[in-house]
Amino acid sequence: MEKTQQVVSVVAICASILLAGMIMTYKPGIVAEFTEFRFPTGVSAAPNTYSTVTALDTGATPKTMSISGTGVVNVKSDQAKIILGVYTEGKSAGVTIDENAALMTQVIAALKAMGFKDENMQTTSFGVSPTYNWEIQSVVGYQVTNLIELTVNDLSKVGPAIDAASAAGANRVDSISFGISDATVQAIKLQAYNLAIKDAEAKKGVITSGLGVTVAGVQSISESYYVPYSSYRSYDVGVSAEGKASTPVLQGNLSVTVTLSIVYLLE
């Protein structure tokens, strides 16, 4: 009896092997699935088997360190821009436009008499709009606004220019802003760049010495700079038109800021 059980076990094992062979024969994809593997170094693949070889990527991602440096240079403003002009209203659009044009011509002539040139003035807005009476639902008149931007490179002339324009017929002074001329910006900006570089280099020295790394070079540099204009209040031109003391206008300091973003390569 025991001998019979052993024979049955052997037959069952043989049947399992034959069944597995049949399955592998009719599903070759399984052969590929089991035979697609990498052989260890120094071991050859057996005949009629498959193996895959993947090329190694030797281009390793470079190690980098990003640092930003900022340079700031303070400088007194040497340029002002004044928005001023004439506002008129009347019943006839044509008449109101003509009145506005006549006053604006006087204002420009007064500014040119002070030494300002055409390139110092440019129109910023000109508009004609109706005045509407909602009670009678009808247009009862027209409003005309003509504004120019006056660029003043001699800040001692800011107050006198406003007074002269007001005396000539300007009844709108919308704003005054102080800034820096292009020539000054170019000179100051180079100083700010040098300060930004020194700031970045100082940070780099602290970081590399603290972490024990070495810089091999620079991968990229990006930069930005900011030159502000400071706004001044709008103001009532009626005071200067009364012939009182010249309008006092005080300028302040401005800052030219340069920021450099540097990506360093590490060894």
Alpha helices of 122-227 — where are they, by DSSP H? 158-168, 182-211
Residue 192's contacts (CB-CB under 8 Å, 6 or more residues apart) are 71, 72, 73, 225, 256, 257, 258
User: Which CATH fold would you assign to the domain 78-179?
Assistant: Alpha-Beta Plaits (3.30.70)
Q: How confident is the model at residue 246 (pLDDT cuts 50, 70, 90)?
A: low
**DSSP three-state, residue 197:** helix
Q: Give the tokens for residue 197.
A: 């570089």
User: Could you state, in order of their start, the residue ranges of all structural domains in the chain?
Assistant: 1-54, 78-179
**Residue owning tokens 């930004």:** 196
- The pLDDT tens digits for 253-264 are 788 999 999 999
| Position 44 pLDDT exceeds 90 | no
pTM for the whole structure: 0.62
Decide: 260 and 200 in contact? Cβ < 8 Å. yes
Residue 55's contacts (CB-CB under 8 Å, 6 or more residues apart) are none
| Position 176 pLDDT exceeds 80 | yes
| Position 11 pLDDT exceeds 80 | no
Residue 82's contacts (CB-CB under 8 Å, 6 or more residues apart) are 149, 150, 152, 158, 161, 162, 173, 175, 176
Q: Which of 232, 243, 235 is nearest to 152 (CA)?
A: 232
> What rounded mean pLDDT belongs to the chain?
80
Decide: 60 and 251 in contact? Cβ < 8 Å. no
Q: What is the pLDDT of residue 142?
A: 96
